[in-house]
Amino acid sequence: MPATLLKGKPLARKIEEEVASEVTELRQKGITPRLSVVLVGENPASRVYVGSKEKACKRVGIESETFTLPESTTQAELLKVVGALNDNTAVHGILVQLPLPGGLDADEVLETLDPAKDVDGFTPANMGKLLLGFPYTVACTPAGILAIMDHYDVPVEGSDVVIIGRSNIVGKPLAALLMQKAKGRNCTVTVCHSRTRNLTSYTGQADIIVAAMGSPKFLKAGMVRPGCVVIDVGINRVKDDSAVRGYTLVGDADFGELENVASFITPVPGGVGPLTVGMLLKNTVKTARFCGCPQ
Ligand SMILES: NC(=O)c1ccc[n+]([C@@H]2O[C@H](COP(=O)([O-])OP(=O)(O)OC[C@H]3O[C@@H](n4cnc5c(N)ncnc54)[C@H](OP(=O)(O)O)[C@@H]3O)[C@@H](O)[C@H]2O)c1
């Protein structure tokens, strides 16, 4: 039987409606949620992501502004911009688009960013709170993964989960979320990475596999057990001369092989991706409520 498709777009639309009504309520109280995005350099994918975040903010009534800094920006200049946004009481949320150009230290930037305004949930303070079990803002992609599984009633509680990828933006925060001592979580989580020996010995046992590695169609049918849940986080551009843009987007899972083996699977595009932006909007409203700065 083909797997149930976990489509992200319908849920993302629902989240946007909820956020829009929260924004209306905040505006009535004199608070207009405002997000400041800092984009450094020319990375084309980053520009696309920032553009889609701006459009989403507009759709729900969040004010957003983007500070576009040149590739040549120094660490001191970047820290000064972030510091000024920290101090600006009209700004509720700050997002520094990653990755930064080579030579800039993202860790220092995240240590400087005010955790109360951290809409990505990437600052050490917010990552620590998540790990300790009392989160404030949570990294958007992991939060989106939980939202999509909950929305489609994927059985998560107590599952054996294997996450392939240990990045600070996906693998690590997702592991912290899934292992929480909380209803619908309580998972036993294994985090694999490029140095994992015999990856298939882990994926082949898992109830839920999250592929977040950036390797096109890596996860194959022979690596999983029938009936498992496949969450595909990867977004990879694969050269395709027949496509208008010259490339096709594919995930880290081989959808063609897995759709008849898994019980649930996220498509790429249109699975986890739309939820990432939805969670950013939710986090921005959260920071606006917390900072609560009437303008
Ligand atoms: N859908 C969304 O909204 C969204 C959001 C964020 C990212 N993404 C996508 O998700 C993917 C991962 O992103 P990321 O930022 O987490 O990537 P990343 O920082 O490059 O981390 C990749 C992780 O995968 C591991 N890995 C790489 N090759 C592996 C292999 N052959 N076997 C096992 N593990 C392997 C790496 O191991 P080591 O640690 O040992 O190097 C690393 O932990 C990318 O395709 C990215 O575009 C999508």
CA distance 170 to 12: 19
Q: Is the CB of 23 under 6 A from ligand 1?
A: no
Q: Is the CB of 164 under 6 A from ligand 1?
A: yes
Instruction: Write the CA distances from 92 to 1, 36, 78, 244, 266, integer angstroms.
Output: 47, 8, 18, 39, 32
Q: Is 293's pLDDT higher than 80?
A: no
Q: Is the CB of 183 under 6 A from ligand 1?
A: no
Q: Are strands 63-69 and 93-96 parallel, antiparallel or unpaired?
A: unpaired
Report residue 199's pLDDT band, with 50, 70 and 90 as the boundaries.
very high
Q: Which ligand 1 atom is nearest residue 268's CA?
A: 1
Q: Is 205 labeled as catalytic in the residue annotation? A: no
Instruction: Write the CA distances from 67 to 64, 194, 269, integer angstroms.
Output: 10, 35, 28
> How far, rounded to the nearest angstrom, does the alpha carbon of residue 164 sit from its chain's CA centroid?
15
The catalytically annotated residue of 114, 117, 118, 120 is 120
Q: Is 120 labeled as catalytic in the residue annotation? A: yes
Residues 9-28 have pLDDT tens digits of: 999 999 999 999 999 999 99
- Looking at the domain 32-117, which fold is it? Rossmann fold (3.40.50)
Q: Is the CB of 203 under 6 A from ligand 1?
A: no
Specify the domain boundaries for CATH 3.40.50.10860 within the chain.
32-117
Residues 269-284 have pLDDT tens digits of: 999 999 999 999 999 9
Per-residue pLDDT, 1: 84
Query: Whose CA is closest to atom 18 on ligand 1?
Result: 167
CATH number of 141-275: 3.40.50.720
Tell me the sheet residues that pair with 208: 161, 229
Q: Is the CB of 148 under 6 A from ligand 1?
A: no
Mean of pLDDT over the chain? 97
Per-residue pLDDT, 232: 98
Report residue 198's pLDDT band, with 50, 70 and 90 as the boundaries.
very high
Residue of 100, 107, 167 to test ligand 1 pocket, by largest number of atoms within 8 Å of CB: 167
Distance from residue 133's CA to the centre of ligand 1 (Å): 24
- Whether residue 267 is preceded by a cis peptide bond, meaning omega within 30 degrees of 0, is no
Q: Is 97 labeled as catalytic in the residue annotation? A: yes
